[in-house]
Structure 1
Amino acid sequence: MPPFSELLPFVVALAAAGALAGLLAGMFGIGGGAVLVPIFFHVFGILGVPEEVRMQLSLGTSLAIIVPTSIRSFMAHRKRGAVDTALLKGWIIAVPLGTLAAAYVAARASSAELRAIFAIIALALAFRMIFNRASWRLGTDLPGRPARFAVGTGIGILSGLMGIGGGVLNNTFMTLYGRPIHQAVATSSGVGVLISLPGLAGYVWGGLGVYGLPPFSTGYINWLAVALLIPITLSLAPLGAQLAHAMSKRQLEIGFGIFLILVSLQFFATIIV
């Protein structure tokens, strides 16, 4: 392992990523995973973690950090009365089911495949947010129970494969059916809770006994990174929620879209290189 003097810049980078992740968790209901996963991928690489397990470790560790962040962000949004609790209750089974399926797939997929999934979904959603039009609607209200259950399962699968809290996908789903972006953001924080808890368990199970994981890891969860970043993300999530309610719908969409493009391009670059 490199000496501490060489690791210090990366510890600082992790701390900065945690601060940004906490703000984004509150602002966009995304749990911060879209920030943490690429940062973890590179930091774990510097620490000598083999590429074969590096992406899985990044995804699992991100979901572990999202657990308390999403809970606190959800509580902050619920106090404002903006959460669609009926939708969350209907997804209590669907979303965790999809997340556990994702952990199973991730344990068997290659690092490059997981990075490609992350980048493609992020880029598609970014363009949808940036070029969004009021006429882009699939309906005036959310679909009925069977279709809604399928959507929840799909959100769990894709979010589990990206190591995110589900806000990226839930925001798109709800706004396509005419729900206000602020309600979508608030509800997404609750979706993050439904994803991160089973996701943590799934990535622990999927990585048990795997060779090449760094110290302080249980399966695909590195508890040293979790311990470092959780206090930072927790302290800043409520501030992010305040910023979300102070911004306009269009400002949220454009800011979120630009952020996703940058993350997507960064991962495409790692695949090509």
Structure 2
Amino acid sequence: MITILLTFMALGALAGVLAGLLGIGGGLVIVPILVFSFTPLGFPEQHLMHLALGTSLASIIFTSISSFMAHHRRGAVIWPIVKSITPGILIGTFLGTCLASIMNTMLLKGLFVVFLYYVAAQMLLNIKPKPSRKIPGNVGMFGVGNVIGSISSLVGIGGGTLSVPFMTFCNINMHSAVGTASAIGLPIALAGTAGFIWNGIGVPGLPEWSIGYVYLPALIGIVSASMLTAPLGVKLAHSLPVPRLKKVFAILLLVVATRMLMSIF
């Protein structure tokens, strides 16, 4: 067990540095790391993606709290947006976990591969939506929250990859969009974790030390290390050529996505 914890701490340390350095959501790094590391541990193939998604979202509970508190101290969180989008986020995310629980690992891998290709293309081409409208009303925000929450639960992320472009599109400056997205990540993580635990309770064949689809040794290792190394990544971001690094990381994402795609076939 000690060896497993140390392994996941090392993986969490890497995820934390990358998240802080490149400004990407931790789930984007953690999910493929978990999939590749669960395989040699002999976890059942049919539960690999469910465990990776559930554990990733559980880890985001802790990282999102430290992140949005830091942004809040800088006045970068627009709380009325958080308040109006949260109901849709909670419902959409939980329903997304229910959908994920009845999908097989191969299909979930396929969805994650498509998402990785999408994010890599955004990074390589530096695609940013042009501000062209205002934040919608409560009904519109409920619908947007449903979409962001459901997709986030299916790929195990905190939603920043989706919510930041949405807010930028709605004339929110990038600094505030990133800060607000960090706060939106908490209800996504809470509802997603609850959903994957609920849908995983009583499922036969899950590994020891799992609560539903959340694998506790991986969660403890990743959280304890990533929260320590994320500030290091932020520090490095101010001294390294981040735009160039993002392109290198985008190529890495393409490699990871292609490897996962090959594993499907």
Q: Please give the TM-score of this superposition, normalised by the length of structure 2.
A: 0.87
Structure 1, residues 199-257: CA drift from partner, whole Å, max 9, x if none? 11111110111111111111101111112221112223344455667889956865774
For residue 149 of structure 2, what is the amino acid of its counterpart? G
In the alignment, does 2:134 pair up with 1:141? yes
Distance in 2 of aligned mates of 1:185 and 1:163: 18
Report how far residue 28 of structure 1 moved. Answer: 6.0
Distance in 1 of aligned mates of 2:12 and 2:192: 19
Report how far residue 88 of structure 1 moved. Answer: 0.9
**Partner residue of 2:195 out of 202, 214, 221:** 202
Match of 1:266 in 2: 259
**Partner residue of 2:101 out of 107, 111, 116:** 107
Of all paired residues, the percent bearing the same amino acid is: 40
Instruction: Provide structure 2 residue ranges, at least 5 long, that are not aligned to the other structure.
Output: none
Distance in 1 of aligned mates of 2:235 and 2:135: 26
Greater alpha carbon shift after TM alignment, 84-93 vs 151-160: 84-93
Report how far residue 183 of structure 1 moved. Answer: 2.6
Contact 1:216 1:223 in 2 (8 A): yes
Instruction: Provide structure 1 residue ranges, at least 5 long, that are not aligned to the other structure.
Output: none
Structure 1, residues 69-119: CA drift from partner, whole Å, max 9, x if none? 111111112112222222111112111111101110111000011011111
Q: Secondary structure at the match of 2:60?
A: helix
Match of 1:127 in 2: 121
Q: Please give the TM-score of this superposition, normalised by the length of structure 1.
A: 0.84
Report how far residue 32 of structure 1 moved. Answer: 0.8
Q: Secondary structure at the match of 2:86?
A: coil
Contact 1:59 1:163 in 2 (8 A): yes
Q: Secondary structure at the match of 1:90?
A: helix
- Give the root-mean-square deviation of aligned CA atoms: 2.8
Distance in 1 of aligned mates of 2:47 and 2:86: 30
Match of 2:12 in 1: 18
Q: Secondary structure at the match of 1:215?
A: coil
Size of the alignment, in residue pairs?
Answer: 265
Report how far residue 164 of structure 1 moved. Answer: 0.9
